[in-house]
Chain A
Amino acid sequence: MSEVVKSGRRHGVMRLVDATGYRLPLAGVVSILHRISGMLMFFLLPFILCLLDKSLASEYGFYAIRSLTSGWFVKLVILALVWAYLHHFCAGVRHLFMDLHYGLDKHTARKSAASVLAISLTLAALIGLKLFGVF
């Protein structure tokens, strides 16, 4: 890191730490969150399957999952997964439209990126409130 700061220029491939020095535009924020949410779901895939397994295996398991998911930590993990799915879904739909050459100009791309963040965060917040029993 210090080497980068001192010399100002480093040859070769950009490293992850080099990327932290940039202030990302909204589309960039959506892009990196698309990655992070995808990786989160990838790593928690066995946990999701485990919930499905226990909930389907027996009536006892179904109610055991209910009591397991009433703990605040498990609720927080589930909320993280809900957000990840919503964000990945919305950003993915934006991706598909861009693949069809819709909304590629800077202004529209910024607006769609803001929409992705607004929709996914609002829905995640609503589901979070429901999950923690606010309404």
Chain B
Amino acid sequence: MANNNIGPKRLVVGAHYGLRDWLAQRVTAIVMALYTVLLLVLFLTGSNFSYEGWAGIFAHQWFKMATFAVIVCLLYHAWVGLRDVWMDYVTSNVFVRLVFQVATILWLVACAGYAAQILWRV
């Protein structure tokens, strides 16, 4: 039984949230990269750089939804990244790290709420 824990066939235990977050960070990164390409295409093919042109892009419902989906991706992506940073550097006190992590979540959720308000007010 003890041999199961070492070598190529080691017994994998745990909740697998390490893999889940690792994968989520990559998937959200790809989504944001595609959105960046979309923005670049809109910018390079754009001709109306006035307020009407700018607000006109955000007037479409599909663009609002796509942007909000990217904001949610950003939220998750940044959460995993910041959590890694706090886990690496805030090591002396678990309570202090918890405070940092909770503050990170609140910061991101608040920003996502602000983004939703901006998008659906146009």
Contact = CB atoms under 8 A, between A and B. Distances in A.
Interface in B1-44: 26, 29-30, 33, 36
A38 B114 CA distance: 20
Interface of A: 13, 15-16, 35, 38-39, 41-42, 45-46, 49, 52-53, 55-59, 62-63, 89, 92-93, 95-96, 99
B111 interface: yes
Contact of A56 (B33, B81, B122): B122
**For the complex, would chain B's binding face be called helix, strand, loop or mixed by DSSP majority?**
helix
Interface residues on B, range: 20 to 34
Given A16-B89, A35-B85, A49 B33 contact: no
B67 to A, nearest CB: 9
A13 B92 CA distance: 9
A79 to B, nearest CB: 17
B54 A42 contact: no
Contacts of A63: 51
